[in-house]
Amino acid sequence: MTANLKGKVALVAGGTRGAGRGIAVELGAAGATVYVTGRTTRAQQSEYRRPETIEETGELVSAAGGRGIAVQVDHLVPEQVEALVARIRAEEGKLDILVNDIWGGEHLTEWDKPVWEHSLDKGLHMLRLAIDTHFITAHYALALMIERPGGLLVEMTDGTAQYNATHYRLCPYYDLVKTGTNRMAWAHARDLAPHGATSVSVSPGWMRSEMMLDHYGVKEENWRDATKVQPHFAISETPRFTGRGVAALAADPDRSRWNGQSLSSFQLAEAYDLTDLDGTRPDCWRYLAEVQEPGRPADETGYR
């Protein structure tokens, strides 16, 4: 299906880079007005010290055919989020789509360390960035969204509920925030349903974010060179793959059938007959379970 979101208003919270940027761009490509928030602007960097900015994402949204509006917001500060939602109300009078993609914990995660070895300060800060921000944003934004039926909340995470239920995710803090976000979407679904709104959690696969490409020293144009270092990177996907799925979901008049579910980028692509930018449809979570984790040689055949 071709997503048509003309006249729709979206907020992508945490849209500076990665999945947030990919989703914002695809919502824009479908014609939506997209408010993009984050902490990094051309004048000020966040603790990430990354070059991507919310202005860039807003411009990409507009270039794709939508209307991108970049707003610097720290979603740990309730007053800033309240002011953001008040601005959306004043300028647009409604909110149709909320994508909660706030994260910021990569540099805080200490892999494979038990709680007594992991930095307590980093762990607690990770919880604040990944849990508190989502609740603060939902508190203000959903109150506007439910004023009209048909709204959509997308909670972004890492790993579907099914996968996370049987896999230990790096460390106790990371495990909690990524499993907790799935449950958060499930809980919101119960509260939103009486208002005619839908809540889901969505997980990308192994995403070729700006940070991941930098980690392997490649660009999107030559990303397969990274498979020389990590052969299983062959199953990776662009942030736009998830974005296309979210845009299709938002445009689906029957999207309420997904209410409360945990979905992957592949599930959305399969349901709406979508592909990544290269025309393939990577099924990362099945690949991880059937190929990488059992120690089989890297082979994407049958998983794209």
Q: Kindly state whether residue 228 falls inside one of the protein's structural domains.
A: no
pLDDT tens digits for 138-196? 999 999 999 999 999 999 999 999 999 999 999 999 999 999 999 999 999 999 999 99
What's the CA gap between 23 and 29, in Å, rounded? 10
| The pLDDT of residue 73 | 97
Tell me, yes or no, whether 227 lies in a domain.
no
Q: Residue 162 maps to which CATH number?
A: 3.40.50.720
- pLDDT by residue (tens digit) across 52-109? 999 999 999 999 999 999 999 999 999 999 999 999 999 999 999 999 999 988 899 9
Does residue 133 form part of some domain? yes
Q: What are phi and psi of 16, to 5 degrees?
A: -65, -35
* 222-278 residue pLDDT tens: 999 999 999 999 999 999 999 999 999 999 999 999 999 999 999 999 999 999 999
**pLDDT at 117 exceeding the cut of 90:** yes
Average pLDDT, the chain: 96
In a domain, 285, yes or no: no
Q: Considering its fold, how many domains does the chain have in total?
A: 1
On the question of pLDDT at 297 being above 80, the answer is yes
pLDDT tens per residue across span 7-37: 999 999 999 999 999 999 999 999 999 999 9
295 part of a folded domain: no
pLDDT over 80 (residue 2): no
Residue 48 in any domain: the answer is yes
Residue 220 resides in a domain: no
Within a domain: 137: yes
Give the residue among 146, 133, 42 at the shortest CA–CA distance from 89: 146
Q: Determine the structural domain holding residue 133 and report its residue range.
A: 9-209+239-279
